[in-house]
Chains A and B, each alone.
Chain A
Amino acid sequence: MSTRNTAAEKLLLQMVDDYTAREVAPLDMAIDHAQDYPEGFMKKLTETGFLGLMLPQEFGGAEFGPEVTATVLNHLARGNASTAVTLEGHFKTIDQILKFGTPALKQALLPSANQRIFAFSMTEASGGSNPMGISSTATREGDHWVINGDKIMITNGGLAQVYCVLVKTAPDQLSVFVVDQDMPGFSFGKREDFIGLRGTPVGEIMMDHIIVDDDHLLGHLGDGGLIGDSAHDDARILMGAVLTGIMEHELKIATDYAKERKAGDKPLTELQVTHRKVADIAMRKETTKLLYQRAAQLKAAGQPYSEEAAMAKAHGSRAAVAAGDDALQILAGYGYSREYPVEHLIRDARAMEIAEGTVEKMRSAIATAEFQK
């Protein structure tokens, strides 16, 4: 890595830490309680250029690589995990347009990705982990396509303006089209009332006879499964980074409290039970960090990273829930109170045992990859 890259990354992380400390962390509790970002929050995030972090410079972005992008989300998540997950949903979608889009599609869409949030939508009421079970369709009519169907549980659904949607273009053929919230026939449904990551909107879109031309097809007809898998892989690396940030937050709360609190006449820092819990949180945090960084390095090097990305998310999500439980126990009654952030960090982490593929599905993917070796 060149000196210039290192210097730019150092400056970037310095800015991200400053931004997180001033603009994000102070709002962490309020975001959870309000189940939304405060007014102006996303505007400032956008104006500060976060949406273009990994976007190539030719489209007006900063063009930082996969490792730096993941590290930025790691640092942001120390302040608020929802904010980092909103960016994760945006980045994974941009990544697919970069990988599979035609030059014309990229040119048409990506310059606006600095200002507009993009989202990837696969799940439907009929199922999440079985893409062939979806019922949304794109039907050829003359020289254009007509898209119909409803999508649910979309990260940034309602907040995003551009959506990559997985549809059937034939009974056994999955494809991805890009639609815009301004297109006739596009509407938003309800927002989910989830228990964690409550700042990140997760919502529903309805597509009723949306007409698009061939330019809106991402990749080729039949690439839907491939693009969906790729989006999952990219998202899982970033989720490993977000989970690391959550655990760093949990660790800080636990150690700050233990340094101040006494049990009887002994400080908590002198009790072996505290040592064990703090050490476990630290080890979980560090292993997750190594896993997501490893997956990001492989991605940056152009090597396969699907298995490592699954490991980062599967290990990290369980680890962050367990680390939160340990932190809660150190804080005892305060940990169980909604006035302290530990309980919402557990709820935030719990989302990632499900989102972007369940932990069970991750284990299956990891085991399958191992059997094939």
Chain B
Amino acid sequence: MKIVVCIKQVPETNDVTIDPKTHNLDRRGLAGVMNPFDKNAVEQALQFKATTDAQVVLLSMGPDDYAQSLREGMAMGADSGVLLSDRAFAGADTLATGYVIAKAIEKIGDVDLVIFGRQAVDADTGQVGPIVAEFLQQPQITYAATLRLSGPNEVTAERLLEDTKQTLVAQLPAVVSVRSELNPPRYPTPRNIQLSFEKPLTIWHHDDLDLDDSRLGQAGSPTIVTKVYAPKPVKRELTPLTGTPQEAASQLIKALKDRQLL
């Protein structure tokens, strides 16, 4: 079994400022740490590794100093790391980032499971995991609060949303994003920190991947940030669908028609 865990290095501080021109996060000069939710993803992969002998590959995209977070994940116990680093990738939004990451996962090859943290604490979008699943055309489960290998070729997760919990089963290969409720991540031990530098860390540049240049970087990013503000929470009405799948589908179609959405 091969598991890829996608991790992001985020600023260590909460005092992140917004670039007044681009409205993007200004990460310049900030020390980086591994995104906390990604530690839950690494921990889950390592627990699978302990029971299945899975190979755990860490994958990240960013400048060369992102290698530090890959080392941290390898010190936790991952087998190897791949860093996608090239000036051509700079300025990417979630779509352009997801495209390059999906291409890298294809290159890694024979990947059974891709795990993401639910979102990165700097930009908070939670979009890259689902985007990667779409590029790979694989099933996806987001916001998993539990995750287990429920069969030789499937995972089962409890998906925890604001006011509901769902149990979802996905056939492998699949993409899952995980919540912090999943597990307490282990600390890398001092010895494993030293030994992590013996593990392979590969850097892939633009030419190492089969890429469509129009999808890369700022040019490949349709996102335009016009304003940054904290949205007000919206309480949505929840109507559970009941009965057989056919009955539930009928209820859904009726509900959509009632709202003139169909």
Spell out A's residues near B (CB within 8 Å).
4, 7-8, 10-12, 14-15, 18-19, 48-50, 52-53, 57, 60-64
0/1 interface trace, chain B 179-204, chain A, CB 8 Å (1 if under): 00000000111111110110000000
B71 within 8 A of A: yes
Residue of B nearest to A14 (CB): B33
B137 within 8 A of A: no
Q: Is the beta-carbon distance between B68 and A63 smaller than 8 angstroms?
A: no
Cβ-defined partner of B197 (8 Å) among A7, A14, A48: A7
Query: What's the least CB distance linking A111 to chain B, in Å?
Result: 12
- Write 28 A-B pairs (CB below 8 A) sorted by A numbering: A7-B71, A7-B197, A8-B193, A8-B196, A8-B197, A10-B68, A11-B71, A11-B72, A11-B75, A11-B188, A11-B196, A15-B72, A15-B187, A15-B190, A19-B187, A48-B187, A49-B191, A50-B190, A52-B190, A52-B191, A57-B191, A57-B194, A61-B190, A61-B191, A62-B189, A62-B191, A62-B193, A64-B194
Question: Please, which residues of chain A bring their CB within 8 A of the CB of B193?
Answer: 8, 11-12, 15, 62
Question: Please, which residues of chain B bring their CB within 8 A of the CB of A48?
Answer: 187, 189
Residue of B nearest to A64 (CB): B190
CA distance A50 to B191 in the complex (A): 9
CA distance A19 to B197 in the complex (A): 21
CA distance A119 to B188 in the complex (A): 26
Question: Please, which residues of chain B bring their CB within 8 A of the CB of A52?
Answer: 189-191
Question: Chain B interface: which size bin?
Answer: 10 to 19
Residue of A nearest to B75 (CB): A11
Q: Is the beta-carbon distance between A11 and B187 smaller than 8 angstroms?
A: no
Question: Please, which residues of chain A bring their CB within 8 A of the CB of B192?
Answer: 49
Residue of B nearest to A60 (CB): B191
Q: Is the beta-carbon distance between A18 and B187 smaller than 8 angstroms?
A: yes
Question: Please, which residues of chain A bring their CB within 8 A of the CB of B33?
Answer: 14
Q: Is the beta-carbon distance between A15 and B188 smaller than 8 angstroms?
A: yes
The 10 A-B residue pairs with the shortest CB-CB distance in the complex, in nearest-first order:
A49-B189, A62-B190, A62-B191, A48-B187, A49-B190, A53-B190, A11-B193, A62-B194, A12-B193, A4-B197
Question: Please, which residues of chain A bring their CB within 8 A of the CB of B190?
Answer: 12, 15, 49-50, 52-53, 61-62, 64
Residue of B nearest to A48 (CB): B187
Q: Is the beta-carbon distance between A7 and B68 smaller than 8 angstroms?
A: yes
Residue of B nearest to A18 (CB): B187
Apart from A11-B68, A48-B189, A52-B191, list 8 A-B contacts with CB within 8 A. Answer: A7-B67, A11-B72, A11-B193, A14-B33, A15-B72, A62-B190, A63-B194, A64-B194
Q: Which of A7, A50, A57 has the most CB of B within 10 A?
A: A7
- Interface positions, chain B 1-44, Cβ under 8 Å from A, are 33
Residue of B nearest to A4 (CB): B197
CA distance A19 to B188 in the complex (A): 10
Question: Please, which residues of chain A bring their CB within 8 A of the CB of B191?
Answer: 49, 52, 57, 60-62
Query: What's the least CB distance linking B14 to chain A, in Å?
Result: 14
CA distance A49 to B188 in the complex (A): 9
Question: Please, which residues of chain B bring their CB within 8 A of the CB of A50?
Answer: 190
Q: Is the beta-carbon distance between B194 and A8 smaller than 8 angstroms?
A: yes
CA distance A37 to B67 in the complex (A): 36
Query: What's the least CB distance linking B201 to chain A, in Å?
Result: 11
Residue of B nearest to A69 (CB): B190
Q: Which of A15, A52, A57, A64 has the most CB of B within 10 A?
A: A15
CA distance A52 to B190 in the complex (A): 8
Query: What's the least CB distance linking A217 to chain B, in Å?
Result: 29
CA distance A25 to B199 in the complex (A): 33
Query: What's the least CB distance linking A88 to chain B, in Å?
Result: 16
Query: What's the least CB distance linking A351 to chain B, in Å?
Result: 26
CA distance A10 to B71 in the complex (A): 11
Residue of A nearest to B189 (CB): A49
CA distance A278 to B192 in the complex (A): 39
Residue of B nearest to A52 (CB): B191
Residue of A nearest to B192 (CB): A49
